[in-house]
Amino acid sequence: MSQPFPSTPYLSGNFAPILMECDAPDLPVLGELPRTLRGTLYRNGPNPQYAPRDAHYHWFIGDGMVHAFHMEDGRVRYRNRWVRTNKFQREQAAGHALFGSWGNPATTDPSVLGQNAGVANTNILSHAGRLLALEEADLPVELDAQTLATRGDVDYGGKLTGAMTAHPKVDPVNGEMVFFAYSADGPFTPGMRYGVVDRNGQLQRLEHFEAPFPSMVHDFMVTQKHVLFPILPLTGSMERAMRGEPAYAWEPQKGSHIGIMPRNGGTVQMRWFHGEACYVFHVMNAWDAGNKVIADVMQYESSPIFNPNGDGTGARLCRWTFDMAGKSDTFTREYLDDMAGEFPRFDERFSTLPYHHGYYALRQYESSARGSYDSLAHLDLRSGKRATYQLPEGDALSEPVFVPRAADSAEGDGWLLATVYRGVQARSDLVVLDASAIADGPVATVQLSHRVPFGFHGNWCGAD
C-alpha cells in the first residue's frame, strides 16, 4: 500500500497531484470555440506518483504528467498521461518512491543508486515529427502525439549522450531546433553544451564550452545571428551538497555573465558581457538590430529560490541590449513594465526576429498562493500599452500559449489559451481569449470535472 502524501505547500491545493489518468471524449464548452482552432494544446508539469522520500519536497521534482486538449470543429477532447520515465517505471513496480529529491543519494533506495532519475516534467513541444517531453537535466522523452504513450528517450542516433534544456528554440525561418545544457560534465560543473537539430530531426552540431562558474541556467536566447547564454549567480556546488547544505545558493558577488556566440561560428568565438547580479528563469524573445543584440527577459533582482532573502516581488519584463560593434563588455538593462509576473510568451512565428506583442502571467491578489498567478497581461511593446484579464479571487491560471488565427495572420492576431484552476470548485477549465482583446474575457471556456495541477509549460501543435 502506498503512503499518503504529507501536507506541505507544494503538495496542497492545486499543487497537489491528481492520482489518475483519464480520457474525456467531448468536454462541455461555454461560449463558442473558434472553428479555426484545429490542433492540440499540450501542457506538462510535476505530478508525483508517490509520496516523496524526503521531508522537504520541492515542486520542481515531481513526475511529469502531460495534459492534452485536442480541438476540432468546435469540440474538445482531453487526455492525461504520466511520462513513463525510468524513475516512474521503477517506482510503479515497487509501489512507492525510490529516488531521493534532486538525486540525493542519502535518501535514494540503494536498489536504484546511479540510475536515471529524470522526471520529464517541464516543457513539451513538437519538432521534426516528434512530440518531446523535456526537462533540463536529462534526455528528451518522445511521446505518441495521439495516445501520449511514452516511446522512450531521444538521443538522436546515439549522438546526444547528456541532457537537453527544457527550453530549446525552434527557428521559424529554417526549422532548426537550437538547444543547450548546463552541468554538462557532471552535477554542479561549469561545463556547457550547445547543439543544433535540423528541421528533419538530425543532430548537426554539438559543442562544449566552460562557463565562468557552475550556474542553474534554465533558459537562453537565440537570434538569427547569435546565441546568448546567461550565467547568473545562482550557483551549484557539490561541496555544499556533501556538507548537507543546499546544492544551489545565491552568490550575488559573482555578478552576471552573458556569453554571446555567432550562430554561424562556434564556441571559440564566445564573447562575454558582464553586469550586476540578477536572475532570469524565462526569456520572452531575442533578435538582432543592426550591430546590436536585444533580448527581452523576465528579470528578478535576486534569485527567488535557494535564497533566504529572495526576490518576493516577482520578475519584471526587462530589455537587455548588447553592442556587438563596441569595445565595452557591459550591457544596458531597461524595464519595459512595472508589473511583476512570469511565464512570458509571444507569437512564436516571430521567434529570433523583431516582434512587438508579449503576454505573461501576473499575480495581483495578495491572497494568491506563492508560485501561482491570477491574471494575464498583453503588452504592446511599440506603444507601451498594457491590457489585463483578472480572474475571480481564489482562481489561478497557467502560462498563456499563443495560437495564430491563421498561418498568415498578422503578428498578435490569434488566441491565448490557458488552463484555469477554479478554487471554490476545486476543478479546472481551459479558457480561450482573443489575444488582441484579453480584457473582454474568454470567448470560450472548456470545462473539466477534475483539476489540472499547477504546471510549467505547454505548446500548441496545429493539425496537419
Binding-site annotation, residues for Fe cation: 167, 218, 282, 457
DSSP string for residues in 334-402: EES-SS-EEEEEE-GGGTTS---EEEEEE---TTSPTT-B-EEEEEETTT--EEEEEPPTT-EE---EE
Task: Pick the closest to residue 427 from 446, 444, 445, 447 (CA basis).
Answer: 447
Contact predicate 29/444, CB 8 Å: yes
Please name the residue that has the C-alpha cell 558581457.
273
| Separation between Cα atoms, residue 180 and residue 199, nearest integer Å | 17
Contact predicate 126/199, CB 8 Å: no
In the sheet where 341-346 sits, what is the strand order?
Answer: 341-346, 357-362, 375-380, 386-390
Three-state DSSP class for residue 59: helix
Question: What radius of gyration, in Å, describes the C-alpha atoms of the chain?
Answer: 21
Please name the residue that has the C-alpha cell 563588455.
329
Count of Cβ atoms closer than 10 Å to residue 396 Cβ:
24
Q: Running DSSP on this structure, what letter comes out for residue 25? A: S
Query: Which grid cell sits at 334?
Result: 531597461
Binding-site residues from annotation: 167, 218, 282, 457
Contact predicate 234/215, CB 8 Å: yes
Q: Quick one: 249 exposed, middle or buried, by C-beta within 10 A (0-12, 13-18, 19+)?
A: middle
What count of Cα atoms within 13 Å lies in the side-chain half-sphere of residue 172? 11
Q: Quick one: 301 exposed, middle or buried, by C-beta within 10 A (0-12, 13-18, 19+)?
A: middle
